[in-house]
A and B are shown apart, each in its own frame.
Chain A
């Protein structure tokens, strides 16, 4: 099977700091892949290069068999790479409905009928449990609901690859349970790349885990293998006994 996403020798420096250093990464279609690692390991820089928000210093990104390294972000989005922001950046002054209508109206192929936009928006809002808040300004939603609205916007793009950057940050435990159900559901028709600090969430969701440390991939494998991996324990907990 052809990988959905591969990176070859992907690097990005900020001044003297090599935030991402020569990363070779492969993601198969249908996977839920978690990316974990200590703060500053280069996780967000890595997915930002995949989504096109940051240009790599060197290396190549291949999506669905085509080199996308030089493409601007908005074209990558159109090709099916959706990114939900780590720092919530919904349009605070627009209603939840309008927030989701923006991605929906762009992805519609018929593009004209008002009913189709409404149906698409309400579907995405219902999947994230926000349907009854459609007409609230996004800025007045609770933090957890704003995170869900981010996911709804990502879903509405009908992505083939959905990148979730720390989606459960700031969510209550009960909200996290619902979120896990939601991601599983999303993964039935999209590949999910998940940056996450919450280990129980990672262990429940991920098919495979990639561990970043100091800009490099330290380890990769199934949740069980990663849990047992000595160098991962070292990176997280300091020198092994």
Chain B
């Protein structure tokens, strides 16, 4: 993985980004909007994948990091009247701080206990949102007003509610996060993370402080998920408590498993796949979840490592 074909890997990732850019001009309006949303949620999946795929830590509470970004940005605009850039930073900072605190506590456990602890913290987070309904809007959520979703640089201003601006903003975030992730997993730090996943005891006996390395991974993962949440609030204008519910802790796990855990592009593929299968099947039948379920079962049977994980295993060993 490490020394093999860096050029090929970067070329592939830049190619994917270029393809998404071109698609912006080709897709019909409906799919254009859908893909903007998918790219933002794929960032959520990428963040999840860092911890789950590369470090092997299965969290069932990542909705709280997405929620921290969502509310951190949304509340900053709605309650404090901050501008878009500052609100975005606020969302990311909320996620980073939350991830640091949760990491310090939850990493004292491993395995099933880690799943339960992260899930419980996410429940607390979700209930706090409902409890402080006078600020957060409770289960109604909040709408970020359109006039506030404008990015101003001196004389020029970008209206984030404009579909093309929204698409390009989502693509920009996705591209930055994708390339950062690629750099991380190809770095020495990425090698240590994988070693921890494969055999934590052995990694300790090579002189690594595995707790600190895992803590950094939780913070990186939580921060990326918060960036996704903050972008969601600012681009789509809705800040709702359902995004902090347990469903949104499970979804990134599903997206990553589908696309391929511990692959850089897997989260995007998984997210696209889920959205399109739901979208296409729900056009034919109201029992579309049945078809989604069957598709998932078939995938697990024939692609146990996810789409990209299986491709890497069988054909393209160099995929990062």
Chains A and B come from one and the same complex = yes
State the A residues within 8 Å of B (CB): 51, 53, 72-74, 77-78, 82-83, 85, 89-95, 97-98, 101-103, 105-107, 117-118, 135, 153, 157
Binds A, one of B47-55, B120-128, B192-200: B192-200
B202, A85: Cβ atoms closer than 8 Å: yes
CB distance from A164 to the nearest CB of B (A): 13
Residues of A with C-beta under 8 A to B194:
91, 94
CB distance from A153 to the nearest CB of B (A): 7
B191, A101: Cβ atoms closer than 8 Å: yes
Contact of B2 among A73, A93, A101, A153 (CB under 8 A): A101
Contact of A105 among B191, B198, B199, B203 (CB under 8 A): B191
B1, A98: Cβ atoms closer than 8 Å: yes
A97, B206: Cβ atoms closer than 8 Å: no
| Measured CA separation A77–B205 after assembly (Å) | 6
CB distance from A103 to the nearest CB of B (A): 5
Contact with A along B126-170 (1 / 0, CB 8 A): 000000000000000000000000000000000000000000000
| Measured CA separation A116–B208 after assembly (Å) | 19
B204 close to chain A: CB less than 8 A = yes
B188 close to chain A: CB less than 8 A = yes
| Measured CA separation A81–B203 after assembly (Å) | 14
A91, B1: Cβ atoms closer than 8 Å: no
CB distance from A136 to the nearest CB of B (A): 12
Q: A97-B3, A101-B2 given as contacts; is B206 within 8 A of A153 (CB)? A: yes
B279 close to chain A: CB less than 8 A = no
B281 close to chain A: CB less than 8 A = no
CB distance from A88 to the nearest CB of B (A): 10
How many CB-defined contacts (below 8 Å) exist between A and B?
Answer: 66
Contact of A157 among B4, B203, B207, B210 (CB under 8 A): B207
Smallest CB-CB separation from B189: which chain A residue?
A: A105
A74, B208: Cβ atoms closer than 8 Å: yes
Residues of A with C-beta under 8 A to B198:
91-94
Residues of B with C-beta under 8 A to A51:
205
A98, B2: Cβ atoms closer than 8 Å: yes
CB distance from A108 to the nearest CB of B (A): 9
B 205-236 contacts with A by CB, 8 A: 205-210
CB distance from B269 to the nearest CB of A (A): 22
| Measured CA separation A157–B210 after assembly (Å) | 17
Contact of A74 among B2, B191, B195, B210 (CB under 8 A): B210
| Measured CA separation A176–B318 after assembly (Å) | 35
Residues of A with C-beta under 8 A to B205:
51, 53, 73-74, 77, 82-83, 85
| Measured CA separation A31–B208 after assembly (Å) | 27
Residues of B with C-beta under 8 A to A117:
188
Interchain residue pairs with CB less than 8 A apart (5): A98-B191, A102-B191, A102-B203, A118-B3, A135-B4
B208, A106: Cβ atoms closer than 8 Å: yes
Residues of A with C-beta under 8 A to B209:
72, 74
B195, A91: Cβ atoms closer than 8 Å: yes
Smallest CB-CB separation from A78: which chain B residue?
A: B207
Residues of A with C-beta under 8 A to B4:
135
| Measured CA separation A153–B203 after assembly (Å) | 11
B206, A89: Cβ atoms closer than 8 Å: no
CB distance from B284 to the nearest CB of A (A): 41
CB distance from B8 to the nearest CB of A (A): 16
| Measured CA separation A157–B198 after assembly (Å) | 19
| Measured CA separation A73–B195 after assembly (Å) | 16
Residues of B with C-beta under 8 A to A157:
206-207
Q: A94-B194, A101-B191 given as contacts; is B207 within 8 A of A106 (CB)? A: yes
Residues of B with C-beta under 8 A to A95:
1
| Measured CA separation A118–B188 after assembly (Å) | 12
Residues of A with C-beta under 8 A to B202:
85, 89-91
| Measured CA separation A53–B4 after assembly (Å) | 34
Residues of A with C-beta under 8 A to B210:
74
Smallest CB-CB separation from A92: which chain B residue?
A: B198
Residues of B with C-beta under 8 A to A97:
2-3
Contact of A94 among B3, B188, B195, B206 (CB under 8 A): B195
Residues of B with C-beta under 8 A to A74:
204-205, 207-210
Smallest CB-CB separation from A83: which chain B residue?
A: B205
Residues of A with C-beta under 8 A to B195:
91, 94, 102
Residues of B with C-beta under 8 A to A135:
4
| Measured CA separation A97–B188 after assembly (Å) | 13
A89, B204: Cβ atoms closer than 8 Å: no
Q: Give me 10 other A-B pairs in contact (C-beta within 8 A), A94-B1, A98-B2 excluded.
A: A74-B204, A74-B208, A74-B210, A77-B206, A83-B205, A85-B205, A95-B1, A97-B2, A107-B207, A117-B188
Residues of A with C-beta under 8 A to B192:
102
CB distance from A209 to the nearest CB of B (A): 25
Residues of B with C-beta under 8 A to A106:
206-208
| Measured CA separation A96–B228 after assembly (Å) | 37
CB distance from B136 to the nearest CB of A (A): 42
Residues of B with C-beta under 8 A to A105:
188, 191
